[in-house]
Structures are given as structure tokens and as C-alpha cells.
């Protein structure tokens, strides 16, 4: 993946998180977020290795959307900050059962995830 630079400010460069820097970005969370963020401190997240591993797996999944950003120190190429970002799409499926309308709210991460649902919905409309 080519490096997508979003901004450069002094000694830092803000880029789209490439997978080769994922472990470095997770280490930023391990060292600088879990031990100090208010909710994490109250829950003692940093002291529970299983919780840290779960949150790191979640963050890794979130990074697959390719909208997460890292701050890199330009001199050392070291990751010094991270913002894991998530995209979600909502789809409302309207159905009628026993003459009663019903709305189903569906959520997914990628628009392609809805293709099969939309095809099914179109088929039902045609069958009516």
C-alpha cells in the first residue's frame, strides 16, 4: 500500500495506517492509552493482559477499514500517535408481516456487506 500522507506539521507526518505499522500503533495504545485513559484506568485495563489483547484485536479489525491515522516522527520513522477510526453503514429494510409494517435497522462495515440483503429485499418486492 502506498503511503497516504494526510498532513505534515513540523517534525510529524500524519498518514493512513499501513498494515506494516499496525503493531507499532497497537504499542502506542499499550504504552500511552490503556494505562492513562480515564475509563481504562478505572477498569484497570492495562493490568489485565486478556483485556489488552481483546482491545488490540478489536483495534486491528477496525484498522481494516483503512481510515485510521498514525502520527509518525519524521526523523526516526517512529509511530508516536494513532487514531483508530471505523466506518459503519446503516440500512433500513422495510417489511410487512400480517399487514403490520416493520422496520429492520441493519449495520455493516462495508457497503458490499449489504448486497445480498438488498438482493433478497428486491426479490421480495418483485414477488409481491
Summarised one tens digit per residue, pLDDT across range 26-44 is: 999 999 999 999 999 999 9
In this prediction, residue 128 has a pLDDT band, given cuts at 50, 70 and 90, of very low
Distance, CA of 113 to CA of 83 (rounded, Å): 24
How many CA atoms are closer than 13 Å to the CA of 60, on its beta-carbon side?
A: 14
Q: Say whether both 48 and 105 belong to one domain.
A: no
Residue 26 sits in the same domain as residue 64: yes
* 30 and 69, same domain (yes or no): yes
pTM of the model as a whole: 0.69
Dihedral-angle region of residue 106 (phi above 0 means left; psi in -120 to 50 means alpha; beta otherwise): beta
Final residue of a structural domain among 47, 62, 83: 83
Dist CA 34 CA 46 (whole Å): 5
Q: Which residue has the higher pLDDT, 36 or 110?
A: 36
* pLDDT value for 53: 93
Measured distance CA(114)–CA(42) in Å, rounded? 38
Q: Are residue 19 and residue 58 in the same domain, yes or no?
A: yes
In which domain, by residue range, is 94 found? 89-127
The number of folded domains in the chain is 2
Average pLDDT, the chain: 82
Lowest mean pLDDT among 34-38, 57-61, 74-78, 123-127: 123-127
Amino acid at each position: 500500500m502506498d503511503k497516504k500522507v494526510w498532513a505534515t506539521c513540523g517534525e510529524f507526518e500524519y498518514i493512513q495506517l499501513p498494515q506494516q505499522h499496525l503493531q507499532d500503533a497497537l504499542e502506542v495504545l499499550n504504552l500511552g492509552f490503556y494505562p492513562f485513559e480515564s475509563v481504562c484506568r478505572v477498569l484497570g485495563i492495562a493490568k489485565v493482559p486478556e483485556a489488552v489483547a481483546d482491545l488490540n484485536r478489536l483495534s486491528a479489525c477496525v484498522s481494516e477499514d483503512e481510515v485510521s491515522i498514525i502520527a509518525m516522527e519524521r526523523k526516526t520513522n517512529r509511530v508516536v500517535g494513532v487514531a483508530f477510526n471505523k466506518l459503519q453503514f446503516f440500512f433500513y429494510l422495510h417489511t410487512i408481516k400480517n399487514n403490520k409494517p416493520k422496520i429492520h435497522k441493519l449495520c455493516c462495515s462495508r457497503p458490499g456487506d449489504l448486497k445480498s440483503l438488498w438482493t433478497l429485499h428486491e426479490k421480495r418486492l418483485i414477488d409481491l
